[in-house]
Amino acid sequence: MKRTFIGVVLAQFVLYFFGFLYWGLGPYPSLIWKQAKDADAAAQSLKELFPQNGTYLVPSTVGDPAAVDQAMRKGPVAFVHMLRVDGRPAMESSIMITGFVTNLIVIVMIALLLKRCSVALPTYGDRVKFVAFVGFIAAFFIDGGEIVWWQMPADWQLYRAGYDFLFWLISGLILAKFESTEPTLSPLPT
Protein backbone atom coordinates (compact mmCIF):
# COMPACT_ATOMS: atom_id res chain seq x y z
CA MET A 1 0.00 0.00 0.00
CA LYS A 2 2.90 2.34 0.78
CA ARG A 3 4.33 1.84 -2.73
CA THR A 4 0.93 2.62 -4.27
CA PHE A 5 0.64 5.76 -2.15
CA ILE A 6 4.07 6.95 -3.32
CA GLY A 7 3.11 6.24 -6.94
CA VAL A 8 -0.17 8.16 -6.59
CA VAL A 9 1.57 11.18 -5.04
CA LEU A 10 4.29 11.19 -7.71
CA ALA A 11 1.75 10.77 -10.54
CA GLN A 12 -0.40 13.56 -9.09
CA PHE A 13 2.41 16.09 -9.14
CA VAL A 14 3.79 15.02 -12.53
CA LEU A 15 0.33 15.13 -14.13
CA TYR A 16 -0.56 18.46 -12.57
CA PHE A 17 2.63 19.93 -14.04
CA PHE A 18 1.91 18.19 -17.36
CA GLY A 19 -1.55 19.81 -17.39
CA PHE A 20 0.00 23.25 -16.93
CA LEU A 21 2.29 22.60 -19.88
CA TYR A 22 -0.35 21.06 -22.14
CA TRP A 23 -3.04 23.65 -21.51
CA GLY A 24 -0.85 26.63 -20.65
CA LEU A 25 1.62 26.39 -23.50
CA GLY A 26 -0.48 24.50 -26.04
CA PRO A 27 -1.43 26.02 -29.39
CA TYR A 28 -5.19 25.63 -29.08
CA PRO A 29 -6.08 29.29 -28.29
CA SER A 30 -4.58 30.53 -31.55
CA LEU A 31 -4.78 27.46 -33.80
CA ILE A 32 -8.04 25.81 -32.79
CA TRP A 33 -10.31 28.36 -31.11
CA LYS A 34 -11.90 30.86 -33.46
CA GLN A 35 -12.14 34.56 -32.58
CA ALA A 36 -15.30 36.67 -32.77
CA LYS A 37 -15.17 39.62 -35.17
CA ASP A 38 -16.09 41.92 -32.27
CA ALA A 39 -15.53 40.28 -28.88
CA ASP A 40 -17.21 43.08 -26.90
CA ALA A 41 -20.35 43.04 -29.06
CA ALA A 42 -20.42 39.23 -28.93
CA ALA A 43 -20.14 39.26 -25.12
CA GLN A 44 -22.97 41.78 -24.80
CA SER A 45 -25.20 39.81 -27.19
CA LEU A 46 -24.49 36.56 -25.39
CA LYS A 47 -25.41 38.10 -22.05
CA GLU A 48 -28.68 39.43 -23.47
CA LEU A 49 -29.65 36.29 -25.40
CA PHE A 50 -28.44 33.66 -22.92
CA PRO A 51 -29.11 35.15 -19.48
CA GLN A 52 -28.35 32.09 -17.34
CA ASN A 53 -25.31 29.87 -16.86
CA GLY A 54 -25.79 26.62 -18.74
CA THR A 55 -25.66 25.00 -22.15
CA TYR A 56 -27.86 26.18 -24.99
CA LEU A 57 -28.49 24.60 -28.39
CA VAL A 58 -29.32 27.01 -31.18
CA PRO A 59 -31.77 26.63 -32.76
CA SER A 60 -33.85 25.17 -29.97
CA THR A 61 -35.03 21.61 -30.44
CA VAL A 62 -38.19 22.28 -28.43
CA GLY A 63 -41.36 22.64 -30.46
CA ASP A 64 -42.83 21.40 -33.69
CA PRO A 65 -40.44 18.84 -35.26
CA ALA A 66 -40.96 20.27 -38.77
CA ALA A 67 -40.14 23.80 -37.58
CA VAL A 68 -37.09 22.50 -35.69
CA ASP A 69 -35.88 20.68 -38.81
CA GLN A 70 -36.35 23.80 -40.93
CA ALA A 71 -34.48 25.97 -38.41
CA MET A 72 -31.65 23.42 -38.23
CA ARG A 73 -31.37 23.31 -42.02
CA LYS A 74 -31.38 27.10 -42.24
CA GLY A 75 -28.66 27.42 -39.56
CA PRO A 76 -26.59 28.45 -37.87
CA VAL A 77 -26.40 25.51 -35.46
CA ALA A 78 -24.42 26.10 -32.29
CA PHE A 79 -23.79 24.97 -28.75
CA VAL A 80 -23.37 27.92 -26.43
CA HIS A 81 -21.86 27.23 -23.02
CA MET A 82 -22.54 30.14 -20.69
CA LEU A 83 -19.99 29.54 -17.97
CA ARG A 84 -20.26 32.75 -15.95
CA VAL A 85 -22.79 35.25 -17.20
CA ASP A 86 -21.49 37.86 -14.76
CA GLY A 87 -17.79 37.12 -15.46
CA ARG A 88 -14.90 35.68 -13.46
CA PRO A 89 -11.16 36.27 -13.07
CA ALA A 90 -9.00 34.96 -15.91
CA MET A 91 -7.15 32.70 -13.47
CA GLU A 92 -9.66 31.54 -10.89
CA SER A 93 -8.05 29.60 -8.03
CA SER A 94 -11.07 27.33 -7.51
CA ILE A 95 -10.47 25.84 -10.98
CA MET A 96 -6.93 24.87 -9.99
CA ILE A 97 -8.10 23.38 -6.70
CA THR A 98 -10.95 21.35 -8.20
CA GLY A 99 -8.66 20.27 -11.04
CA PHE A 100 -6.09 19.04 -8.52
CA VAL A 101 -8.76 17.07 -6.64
CA THR A 102 -10.24 15.64 -9.87
CA ASN A 103 -6.81 14.49 -11.05
CA LEU A 104 -6.12 12.91 -7.67
CA ILE A 105 -9.40 10.98 -7.69
CA VAL A 106 -8.77 9.67 -11.23
CA ILE A 107 -5.17 8.69 -10.41
CA VAL A 108 -6.36 6.80 -7.30
CA MET A 109 -8.97 4.99 -9.43
CA ILE A 110 -6.31 4.06 -12.01
CA ALA A 111 -4.10 2.77 -9.19
CA LEU A 112 -7.00 0.68 -7.84
CA LEU A 113 -7.67 -0.66 -11.34
CA LEU A 114 -4.03 -1.68 -11.66
CA LYS A 115 -4.09 -3.28 -8.22
CA ARG A 116 -7.22 -5.22 -9.14
CA CYS A 117 -5.63 -6.49 -12.38
CA SER A 118 -2.08 -6.98 -11.12
CA VAL A 119 -2.07 -10.78 -11.35
CA ALA A 120 -2.98 -10.65 -15.04
CA LEU A 121 -0.36 -7.96 -15.70
CA PRO A 122 2.92 -9.47 -14.50
CA THR A 123 5.37 -7.06 -16.16
CA TYR A 124 5.84 -3.32 -16.11
CA GLY A 125 5.17 -3.19 -19.87
CA ASP A 126 1.94 -5.17 -19.49
CA ARG A 127 0.69 -2.74 -16.86
CA VAL A 128 1.61 0.34 -18.92
CA LYS A 129 -0.03 -1.08 -22.06
CA PHE A 130 -3.17 -1.94 -20.10
CA VAL A 131 -3.57 1.55 -18.63
CA ALA A 132 -2.75 3.18 -22.00
CA PHE A 133 -5.32 0.99 -23.75
CA VAL A 134 -8.04 1.83 -21.23
CA GLY A 135 -7.12 5.51 -21.62
CA PHE A 136 -7.32 5.23 -25.40
CA ILE A 137 -10.77 3.64 -25.13
CA ALA A 138 -11.96 6.40 -22.78
CA ALA A 139 -10.60 9.21 -24.97
CA PHE A 140 -11.94 7.63 -28.15
CA PHE A 141 -15.41 7.10 -26.69
CA ILE A 142 -15.77 10.38 -24.82
CA ASP A 143 -13.98 12.87 -27.08
CA GLY A 144 -14.75 10.97 -30.29
CA GLY A 145 -18.37 10.67 -29.21
CA GLU A 146 -18.56 14.46 -28.90
CA ILE A 147 -17.49 14.72 -32.55
CA VAL A 148 -20.04 12.14 -33.68
CA TRP A 149 -23.09 12.82 -31.56
CA TRP A 150 -22.83 16.55 -30.84
CA GLN A 151 -20.79 17.45 -33.94
CA MET A 152 -18.21 19.28 -31.89
CA PRO A 153 -15.26 20.53 -33.95
CA ALA A 154 -12.84 17.67 -34.53
CA ASP A 155 -9.70 19.77 -34.02
CA TRP A 156 -10.81 20.82 -30.52
CA GLN A 157 -12.00 17.34 -29.53
CA LEU A 158 -8.83 15.69 -30.86
CA TYR A 159 -6.74 18.13 -28.84
CA ARG A 160 -8.75 17.19 -25.76
CA ALA A 161 -8.45 13.48 -26.63
CA GLY A 162 -4.68 13.91 -26.86
CA TYR A 163 -4.61 15.28 -23.33
CA ASP A 164 -6.92 12.56 -22.01
CA PHE A 165 -4.87 9.76 -23.58
CA LEU A 166 -1.56 11.24 -22.42
CA PHE A 167 -2.95 11.62 -18.89
CA TRP A 168 -3.68 7.89 -18.81
CA LEU A 169 -0.36 6.98 -20.45
CA ILE A 170 1.69 9.05 -17.98
CA SER A 171 -0.38 7.61 -15.12
CA GLY A 172 0.41 4.13 -16.37
CA LEU A 173 4.11 4.84 -16.79
CA ILE A 174 4.35 6.04 -13.19
CA LEU A 175 1.86 3.84 -11.35
CA ALA A 176 3.00 0.62 -13.08
CA LYS A 177 6.43 1.12 -11.51
CA PHE A 178 4.91 1.07 -8.03
CA GLU A 179 2.46 -1.80 -8.53
CA SER A 180 3.22 -5.25 -7.22
CA THR A 181 2.15 -8.36 -9.12
CA GLU A 182 0.93 -9.94 -5.90
CA PRO A 183 -2.86 -9.76 -5.43
CA THR A 184 -3.73 -7.56 -2.47
CA LEU A 185 -7.43 -7.00 -2.92
CA SER A 186 -10.12 -9.54 -2.18
CA PRO A 187 -12.04 -10.85 -5.19
CA LEU A 188 -15.08 -8.95 -6.37
CA PRO A 189 -18.34 -10.33 -4.97
CA THR A 190 -20.35 -12.46 -7.37
Query: Can you tell me the distance from the alpha carbon of 143 to that of 9, in angstroms, rounded to the nearest whole number?
Result: 27
Considering only CA atoms, which of 157, 115, 117, 110 is closest in space to residue 132? 110
**pLDDT for the residue numbered 30:** 87
Q: What's the mean pLDDT in 156-169?
A: 97
Helix H segments across the chain?
Answer: 2-25, 28-31, 39-49, 65-74, 93-117, 124-149, 154-178
**pLDDT for the residue numbered 29:** 87
Query: Can you tell me the distance from the alpha carbon of 11 to that of 178, in angstroms, rounded to the nearest whole number?
Result: 11
- Percent of the chain having pLDDT more than 70? 95
Q: Render pLDDT for 103-134 as a digit per residue (tens, 0 to 9).
A: 999 999 999 999 999 899 999 999 999 999 99
